[in-house]
Amino acid sequence: MNNSHLIFNTSIGVKKPENYRNKAQSCPFCDRDQLTDILDSEGPMILLKNKYPVLENAYQTVLIETDDCNAEFSTYEPEHLHRLLRFGIKHWLKMEESGRYKSVIFYKNHGPLSGGTIAHPHMQIIGLYDLDCEAKIEEEVFQGIVLSEENGVRFTLSNMPRIGFYEFNIEMSDSDYVETFGKYVQIAVHYIMNHFQFKASSYNLFFHHIDGKIYAKVVPRFVTTPLYIGYGIPQIPNNLEGMASEVKKIYF
């Protein structure tokens, strides 16, 4: 039988630093001289083992995106944006190809409602030894209203969102990184943080590798609807076409 749940180690979890709400907590990623178990680095980016591996039967790493604690993904200069995504995708796929894991998760939290605990820009790459992270993912959640398409990269607004409401998708071939992919991901994040109809301070960025394609899904985060929590029912808003038109007007 396939495993469907991860075990969270609470004795480690209570020790994790948190500085979204606890402003007195120093940033562990800013004190670079104290970082340990570094796996790779490139410029200001550092990949290292997670000091607080709360997930059992998993290999957890953290990708520190920058040495600027106040930076934010939507405002990165193009050079750093593409360098970061190339670096992250390279290590994610390398872990997949190693054969050590049943699946590998690559994602980013930002903001107090994202599920993250540290504000300093970072991503996580996690190898799962006996759980398939894509087992419950249907292709339809990456389809939607096309916002832009160029250089083999497609940017859509989901019309069958996985959790519900508003989700942006960016799709490219896994054969090579295309800078249009990074541009579209950044546009989705920038729209959420600056033009979204509901004031948003949090989002998640999820990466998926399915059937020769790499997908990025960008999701604004608010309090999750009880219909999804209790019954797993996603909701589709009736203003998707209007939002799609707004995104096109602002960015394209």
pLDDT one-digit tens code per residue, 148-164: 999 999 999 999 999 99
Of the three residues 75, 105, 128, the one that is the final residue of a domain is 128
Of the three residues 128, 157, 179, the one that is the final residue of a domain is 128
CA angle 199, 166, 214 (to 5 degrees): 120
Q: What is the extent of the structural domain holding 202?
A: 139-251
- Look at residue 2 and tell me if it is in a domain: no
d(CA 135, CA 111): 27
- Per the prediction, the chain carries an average pLDDT of 96
Residue 8 has what pLDDT? 97
- Look at residue 201 and tell me if it is in a domain: yes
H helices present in the chain, as ranges: 10-13, 78-97, 179-194, 226-231, 240-251
**Residue 52 phi, psi dihedral angles, 5° rounding:** -125, 75
**Residue 64 phi, psi dihedral angles, 5° rounding:** -75, 120
CB 48 within 8 A of CB 35: yes
- Look at residue 242 and tell me if it is in a domain: yes
Residue 114 has pLDDT above 60, yes or no: yes
Please give the tally of structural domains in the chain: 2
Residues 112 and 146 placed together within one structural domain of the fold? no
% the chain with pLDDT above 90: 92
Q: What is the pLDDT of residues 35-86, one digit of tens each?
A: 999 999 999 999 999 999 999 999 999 999 999 999 999 999 999 999 999 9
Residues 221 and 155 placed together within one structural domain of the fold? yes
> What's the chain's length in residues?
252
